[in-house]
Amino acid sequence: MPNKILLLDSDQTTVAWFKGKLENQGFSVDTADLGAVALRKIAAAPPDLLVLDRVLPDIDGIEVIRRVRSDPHSSRIAIIVLSALSRPDVLTACLNAGANRYVVKRPGADVELIAKTRALLSQPKSLSTRRGRIVAFCSAKGGSGTTSLCINTADALIKAHPGADIVVVDMVFPMGTVGTALGFESSKTVAKLSQEKTIDHVMIESYVSHPVRWGFRVLLGAKDPQEAGTLDVTKVQLIFETLQIAHDYILVDLGRTLSRISLPILEMSSNIIIVVTPDIATVKTTRFLIQYLESHGIDRERLVVVNNRTVGRVWTTIEDMAHELGIAPKFTVPYLLEHMTMAINEAVPFIEKFPEDSALMTFNDIARFLYTSIR
């Protein structure tokens, strides 16, 4: 059975254009030109997705969203706002009312709408009615494998869910290595974005790139330490809130930067992956990291400890690690010899270079966990 979409817009040209585009993709599309008509149709038979304009002749689009969300028969349907308005306050108001995604009417909006429709409808309902999920990757010690795990988890996630819209953001300042690990360079960075006069959905999307060879998108932190110094920290939260509108998953490499930059992101994260290597010094430092997070009100349920065996020898057992940290490692990435470094040096997904390696299972397990864990 094709997914049912209700398209609510008073402009007949818009309706005809998007209806045709969605039907070409195999969706079954019904239409309404007034809010009251749409609400009647939804009450009679709720669609899987409501696509609506923000401005309607009879009821305010936001009011339509509220009513749909407050009725138990329709509260779980996916909602995308399709509007000519791109102001951040409009976007935020729609999301706060319960919309899942926002697409600005402009050239290419049909492609964006189809991608978001697919992503929303391919997710379990409990996930699709939420905003994009932020997953932070951090560690207490440099070189623990944070970047390697972040990009290879993103790779596993996109391979398991090709319809999902995933963006990896490098928030390691002054110099991150996500770009190098992906074989990708860009002058469109978070630091530069933070200096833009208007930071809205349209602006942010113009900064998010698609590196060749990787299925997810990426936003780098800064092109050099000098540019990193220009990062306006006060804009970080707005940038991530806006990223949540357009993407299903925002995987953030925080490295070991525990600072004013990372705190708002950690607070917004659904899950925080803490990468630990099995040596006593790292485990002890990680305990302080966990205490720091807890002292900022971040509850333990969000924390996921990953034991990454970057070296051959193990200096401490899983049991000791669990005892010291108060949280048992949920996943263990095996020691991958020089293979991980070879994959990173060639800027390819680990799994494409070593498809037989058992690490595939761990990356898939982490991806599955992130996909299904609901907060």
Ligand X SMILES: Nc1ncnc2c1ncn2[C@@H]1O[C@H](COP(=O)(O)OP(=O)(O)OP(=O)(O)O)[C@@H](O)[C@H]1O
If the CB atoms of residues 65 and 366 are measured against ligand X, the closer one turns out to be 366
Contact residue for ligand X among 109, 344, 351, 366 (CB under 6 A) = 344
Site for ligand X in 252-311 (CB under 6 A): 255-256, 308-310
If the CB atoms of residues 80 and 251 are measured against ligand X, the closer one turns out to be 251
- Under 8 Å between Cβ of 110 and 246: no
Torsion-angle region of residue 143: left (phi > 0), alpha (psi -120 to 50) or beta?
left
**Alpha carbons 247 and 217: distance in angstroms, whole number:** 10
**Alpha carbons 290 and 293: distance in angstroms, whole number:** 5
If the CB atoms of residues 10 and 180 are measured against ligand X, the closer one turns out to be 180
Nearest to 181 by CA among 171, 173, 170: 170
Q: Which residue in the block uniquely carries the two structure tokens 């009312």?
A: 97
Closest approach, Cβ 147 to Mg ion, in A, equals 3
Site for ligand X in 168-207 (CB under 6 A): 172, 177
Q: Which does 50 bind (CB under 5 to 8 A by kind): Mg ion, ligand X, none?
A: none
Q: Residue 96 is encoded by which pair of tokens?
A: 């706060």
Contact residue for ligand X among 142, 162, 225, 326 (CB under 6 A) = 142
**Alpha carbons 320 and 163: distance in angstroms, whole number:** 40
- Under 8 Å between Cβ of 189 and 226: no
- Under 8 Å between Cβ of 129 and 78: yes
Contact residue for ligand X among 3, 31, 128, 147 (CB under 6 A) = 147
Contact residue for ligand X among 2, 143, 225, 229 (CB under 6 A) = 143
**Alpha carbons 371 and 142: distance in angstroms, whole number:** 27
Nearest to 165 by CA among 210, 108, 203, 106: 210
- Report if residue 86 touches ligand X, rule: CB under 6 A: no
Chain centroid to Cα 264, Å, comes to 15
Q: Which residues contact Mg ion (rule: CB under 5 A)?
A: 146-147, 177, 255
If the CB atoms of residues 252 and 340 are measured against ligand X, the closer one turns out to be 340
Closest approach, Cβ 78 to ligand X, in A, equals 35
**Alpha carbons 91 and 100: distance in angstroms, whole number:** 11
Q: Where are the alpha helices (DSSP H) in 161-247?
A: 178-182, 190-193, 201-205, 225-228, 236-246
CA dihedral 369, 288, 251, 98 (to 10 degrees): 80
Q: Which does 309 bind (CB under 5 to 8 A by kind): Mg ion, ligand X, none?
A: ligand X
- Report if residue 57 touches ligand X, rule: CB under 6 A: no
Q: Residue 94 is encoded by which pair of tokens?
A: 């729609």
If the CB atoms of residues 147 and 262 are measured against Mg ion, the closer one turns out to be 147
Closest approach, Cβ 172 to Mg ion, in A, equals 6
Contact residue for ligand X among 226, 317, 341, 372 (CB under 6 A) = 341
- Report if residue 74 touches ligand X, rule: CB under 6 A: no
If the CB atoms of residues 99 and 274 are measured against ligand X, the closer one turns out to be 274
Q: Which does 268 bind (CB under 5 to 8 A by kind): ligand X, Mg ion, none?
A: none
If the CB atoms of residues 335 and 369 are measured against ligand X, the closer one turns out to be 335
Closest approach, Cβ 226 to ligand X, in A, equals 19
Applying CB under 6 A, the residues found at the interface with ligand X are 139, 142-148, 172, 177, 255-256, 308-310, 333, 335-336, 340-341, 344
